[in-house]
Structure 1
Amino acid sequence: MKESVKFKNLSWDVAADIYFPPDFNESKKYAAIISAHPIGSCKEQTSGNVYGQALADAGFVVLAFDASFQGSSGGEPRFIEDPTLRVEDFRCACDYLVTLPYVDEKRIGVLGICGGGGYSINAAMTERRIKAVGTVTGANYGRLWREAFGNYDPIGALEKIAEQRTAEARGEKLRVDDLLPPSVEAGKKAGIKDIDVLEATDYYRTPRGQKPNGLNRSLYSHNSAAVGWDAFYLAEVLLTQPLMVVIGDKPGGFGAYRDGLEIMRRAKSEKKELVIAEGWSHYDLYDKPEPVKIALDKLIPFFKENLQYVPAQQKSTKAEAVV
């Protein structure tokens, strides 16, 4: 069972789907998981329809949302990918979950896929209502901009972004970049060899993963914040929640393999586990049954263990706890 809902981030609505466990009962209290989609994606791609559904089937209430300025969520102009606002979406998701009578506010976790993984980690550092963190092929969007997305010239990238923003402020048309080639064949003809770019195209530009709101577009002039942002900043001090990091061992240009190793080294979390899906790549972990099963076979027990029911010390509730 699934329900479409909205909650506020500042002055606009964030669109989300709630996935419910089998035999859901509003009188019970459930552990909840916020599920965050990849960069340029939407809640109907992997975060909701694959991982969200599976976690709900395992007994959790799952909130899969569209990032602000993207998908079905509000915010103008469209296709902004601002890490600060992306992280704020998680706080607003927590605000919404704690108003639901069937959600146990002490048992909220987060799962992020690709860029959503980096945002999940960053959000958890300062959002203490998040009690457990899982990532699947999580990537640090700031590092990507300082490296591949910015042609390994972050200062040059910032200069170009500034020029474009000035032009748009003076009335020129907004520059919205399509982040992927129209097809794998077109990408190969253009000389692209990187496994992540080609496999992303196979996922997002074919019926395999194509969705109306998963457009992989970026408003170029609003990327300066990302260049100066680091998903893992202060992880040695502030990231203390139980952490599970799932990566494939076929690395590509988006760098999730190295990011996974880095956050495992840097996280202050006493409980942390690295899961490597051997023989699988970044985009295999989005939807292919075998690697997804590897991830879920670890993530489901991880969340069950770390989002266990703990009776309230100061007040009792008649609501029955589950999961």
Structure 2
Amino acid sequence: MNEKHRFRNPAEQRGADPGRRDLLKLTGTGVAALGAASLIDVSSAKAQAMTENWDKVFPRSGDVDNQKVTFRNRYGITLVGDLYLPKGHATGRLPAIAVAGPFGAVKEQSSGLHAQTLAERGFAALAFDPSYTGESGGEPRNVASPDINTEDFCAAVDYLGLHPAVDRERIGILGICGWGGMALNAAAVDKRVKAVATTTMYDMSRVMARGYNDSVTPEQRARTLEGLSRQRWEDAANGTPAYQPPYNELKGGEAQFLVNYHDYYRTPRGYHPRAVNSGNAWTITTPLSFMNMPLLIYIQEISPRPVLLIHGEKAHSRYFSETAYAAAAEPKELVIVPGANHTDLYDKVDVIPFDRLTAFFNRHLSA
């Protein structure tokens, strides 16, 4: 069934929200211009030891049990997640959802909030830190990969399918922001995934290869790749990767969506010290693999399993979901949330269409 909806919500759009450093620094001429002069000293960073303390940016629910868990992907990297189960669940096998994102965030932020809320609604939900970030393993720190991060979702499905509380034939995935593209890619390749949803989705391979709104010219792309290629010699000579400037610092005059990123990642609303976006940084060469490996080439192969794409009406990134929706095969749904910007869908529980997410997964993860 081809469905395209506008989700109705009476809540007014609130002011500026989350922030991340301008992703244009990862695309076009920005990367080449960074060079070695803009490094920050995070080369010695390690994956932080797991904490059992509640260090989320959202309140704990009394209707949910939470447990810190670990599992390994097929590259041997140990991933750390939070498993949320309905309070006191003892018998029977539950439908399950693996959740990750946004790009540069950690499980203590938006993905954990989504997972906890879905557990309140009857699902087993696993929010996890992708490889090389947060509490998960992998070195160097704060590097991303379209392949390895797609695999991270598949490894989460491995874990859920072996858990005694989970029905392995009823597993879905949810990707937020940049991990929306990874979720769609994982669903295309991993036929165990029965349903996939994204919120406020970014196609990171597209934005890094072409810039926002596909504005990067072939000449700019070539210059960027020249700079990134030569940065590899610098990294090899130094024995450690160079890093971009700290993310989401404002100097004045930034576009509104960058102010929104800052208001999430750099304020008490969403700040977390382990998040790349909360004043840390990706490696300078992180864009390389994304620029050469498009994520959504095989999106049609998700069918006949269903796809749900949710985006804000006012989001600068809305075109990513609309393009993905047009490319996907049936069954598919596109939900546009009136008045919402990109980061409203990170944590504003009166704006995020949880009823729609719940209905989607209930319908397609039914016994």
TM-score range, shorter chain: 0.7 to 0.9
Tell me if 1:226 matches 2:284: no
In structure 2, distance between residues paired with 1:175 and 1:239: 41
Following the alignment from structure 2 to structure 1, what is the Cα–Cα distance between the partners of residues 304 and 246?
A: 34
Partner residue in 1 for 2:123? 60
| Counterpart code for 2:322 | L
Q: How does 1:49-128 map to 2 (within 5 A)?
A: 50-128=113-191
Amino acid at match of 2:81: A
* 2:270 is the alignment partner of 1:209: yes
SS at match of 2:108: coil
1:165 corresponds to which of 213, 220, 232: 232
Q: Alpha carbons of 1:192 and 1:214: their partners in 2 closer, same or farther (altered >3 Å)?
A: same
Q: CA deviation at 1:241?
A: 1.6
Q: CA deviation at 1:178?
A: 3.7
Residue 279 of structure 1 is matched in structure 2 by 339
Structure 2 equivalent of residue 315 of structure 1: none
Counterpart of 1:290 in structure 2 is 350
Give ranges in structure 2 of 5+ residues lacking alignment: 1-64
Matched residues, number: 295
Q: Name the residue aligned to 1:21.
A: 86
Letter in 1 for 2:131: S
2:197 matches 1:137: no
Q: 1:45 matched to which residue of 2?
A: 109
Shift of 1:215: 2.4
Q: Determine whether 1:148 maps to 2:211.
A: yes
Shift in Å, 1:147? 2.9
Task: Give, in whole Å, the separation in 2 of the partners of 1:197 and 1:215.
Answer: 15
- After superposition, give the CA deviation of every residue in 1:91-131 in whole Å (9 maximum; x if it has no partner): 11111112112111100000110011111001000101110
Q: Which runs of 5+ in 1 are unaligned?
A: 310-323
Aligned residue for 1:67, secondary structure, equals coil
Alpha carbons 1:131, 1:306 under 8 Å: kept: yes
Of 242, 248, 251, the residue aligned with 1:175 is 242
Query: Is the CA contact (8 Å cut-off) linking 1:34 and 1:111 kept in structure 2?
Result: yes
C-alpha separation in 1, matches of 2:295 and 2:304: 15
Residues 299 and 281 of structure 1: CA distance in aligned 2, closer, same or farther (over 3 Å): same
Q: For each residue in 1:121-179, what CA deviation from the matched residue of structure 2 results, as whole angstroms up to 9, or x when unmatched?
A: 01000101110011110110011102338982322222111111111111265321146
Other structure's SS at 2:171 match: strand
Aligned-partner Cα distance in 1 for 2:71–2:186: 17
Distance 1:219 1:239, change over 3 A: farther
Shift of 1:240: 3.4
Residue type of the partner of 1:262?
A: T
1:83 & 1:179 partners in 2: Cα distance? 22
Residues 1:237 and 1:18: Cα distance change in structure 2 (over 3 Å): closer
- Could you tell me the percent identity over the aligned residues? 35
Alpha-carbon distance in 1 for matches of 2:274, 2:268: 13
Shift of 1:271: 1.9
Measured in 2, the distance between the counterparts of 1:55 and 1:238 equals 23
CA RMSD of aligned residues (A): 1.7
Alignment partner of 2:340: what SS?
strand
- Is contact 2:276–2:282 with CA below 8 Å preserved after alignment? no
Supply the AA of the counterpart residue of 2:139.
Answer: E
Q: Distance in 2 between matches of 1:280 and 1:222?
A: 30
- Give the Cα separation in 1 of the matches to 2:148 and 2:246: 20
Kindly provide the amino acid, as one letter, of the partner of residue 283 in structure 1: T
Superposed CA deviations along residues 8-55 of structure 1, whole A, max 9, x for unmatched, are 122221010000113311x3101000001111110111111x211110
User: How far apart are 1:238 and its partner, in Å?
Assistant: 4.3
Change (3 A) 1:240 1:220: farther
CA separation of 1:19 and 1:234: change in aligned 2, threshold 3 A: same
Task: Say whether 1:262 aligns with 2:323.
Answer: yes
The alpha-carbon deviation at position 239 of structure 1 amounts to 4.4
**Per-residue deviation, residues 61-120 of structure 1 (Å, max 9, x unmatched):** 001110100000000000111111000101111111121121111000001100111110
Q: 1:130 to 1:171 in 2, by over 3 A?
A: same
2:99 paired residue number: 35
**Alpha-carbon distance in 2 for matches of 1:68, 1:239:** 28
Change (3 A) 1:238 1:179: farther
Q: Distance in 2 between matches of 1:79 and 1:275?
A: 32
